[in-house]
């Protein structure tokens, strides 16, 4: 049998290496076309914190929120609350805003209530931002029914009143008492800033506790189904760790802040003092 010549071996090895090189090029093209875009998509996806992992509170986790209260969604605003969920301080600052507070939006100088009547929550939010020169990330609009649902979700709350109060349907004694959602809603819709601060702070301290950790989604359902809000499910997922840390805090976590200022002679406009504006800017920045 005749032995293969050297030229035959040379042709075989040349063919082998050329084939190997071609396969390498094909694989590289396949990786570039398919695997690399998939990797980039994965890197661009929002990273949701995993509960139980190490977490360091960051300023970017804090949220400034404007709460708008109405008897019914299509009616005028009765009260405004400016909240700051502060991840680094692990607390919630509560600032009741008089609907008469004056601010300017698009060269229109009006009260917050008038801004809301003119342009809805967008104008009210811009009015609060321009009043204090701060950025407000989110809003929540609540009516009488959604307020009641939120409070009743927790089985009511305790409230200590220093004076007797009459609302449309209820009488409240000057005493410590348990109130349900309907009563809490009527108190808030009186529009009394001091009372609104007390009711809101009591709700945060008593209801937003560790017990809520395992059934947050049910509470969020009320937020999404019965309120109008700028929050999304993704927003709350991204805030899972700071929210859990906040709920686990055992001491009082709501910090009430009263705004110093004065009303005009006819009582239709409220003008915050320069010191009050500076305080809000410092806290909400």
Residue 34 lies in a domain: no
* pLDDT recorded at residue 44: 37
* Sign of the Cα pseudo-torsion (200, 203, 205, 211, in order): negative
Residue 46 lies in a domain: no
* pLDDT recorded at residue 54: 80
Residue 109 lies in a domain: yes
Helix (H, G, I), strand (E, B) or coil at 105: strand
* pLDDT recorded at residue 189: 98
Residue 137 lies in a domain: yes
Q: Which residues of the chain have pLDDT under 70?
A: 1-53
Q: What is the pTM for the complete model shown?
A: 0.81
Domain that holds residue 172: 59-283
* pLDDT recorded at residue 10: 60
Residue 67 lies in a domain: yes
* pLDDT recorded at residue 201: 98
Q: Could you tell me where the DSSP H helices lie in 45-164? A: 112-132, 144-153
Residue 234 lies in a domain: yes
Helix (H, G, I), strand (E, B) or coil at 84: strand
* pLDDT recorded at residue 13: 56
* pLDDT recorded at residue 265: 81
Helix (H, G, I), strand (E, B) or coil at 240: helix
Residue 52 lies in a domain: no
Q: Which CATH number characterizes residue 109's domain?
A: 3.40.630.190
Residue 15 lies in a domain: no
Tell me the per-residue pLDDT of 94-119, one tens digit each, with 9 for 90 and over: 999 999 999 999 999 999 999 999 99
Domain count within the chain: 1
């Amino acid at each position: 049998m005749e032995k293969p010549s050297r030229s035959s071996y040379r042709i075989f090895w040349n063919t082998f290496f050329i084939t190997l090189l071609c396969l390498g090029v094909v694989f590289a093209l396949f990786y570039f076309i398919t695997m690399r875009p998939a990797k980039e998509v994965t890197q661009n996806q929002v990273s949701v914190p995993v509960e139980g992992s190490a977490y360091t509170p960051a300023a970017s986790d804090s949220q400034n929120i404007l709460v708008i209260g109405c008897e019914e969604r299509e009616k005028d605003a009765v009260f405004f609350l400016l909240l700051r969920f502060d991840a680094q301080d692990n607390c919630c600052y509560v600032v009741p805003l008089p609907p008469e507070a004056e601010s300017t939006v698009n060269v229109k100088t009006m009260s917050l209530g008038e801004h809301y009547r003119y342009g809805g929550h967008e104008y009210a939010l811009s009015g609060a931002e321009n009043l204090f020169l701060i950025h407000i990330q989110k809003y929540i609009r609540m009516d009488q029914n959604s307020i009641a649902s939120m409070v009743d979700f927790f089985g009511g709350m305790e409230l200590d009143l220093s004076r007797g109060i009459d609302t449309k349907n209820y009488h409240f004694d000057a005493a410590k008492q348990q109130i349900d959602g309907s009563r809490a809603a009527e108190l808030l819709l009186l529009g009394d800033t001091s009372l609104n601060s007390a009711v809101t702070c009591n709700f945060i301290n008593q209801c937003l506790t560790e017990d809520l950790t395992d059934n947050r989604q049910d509470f969020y359902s009320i937020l999404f189904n019965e309120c109008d809000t700028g929050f999304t499910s993704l927003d709350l997922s991204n805030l899972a760790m700071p929210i859990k840390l906040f709920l686990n805090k055992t001491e009082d976590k709501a910090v009430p802040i009263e705004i110093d200022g004065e009303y005009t002679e006819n009582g239709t406009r409220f003008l915050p003092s320069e010191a009050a504006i500076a305080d809000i800017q410092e806290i909400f920045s």
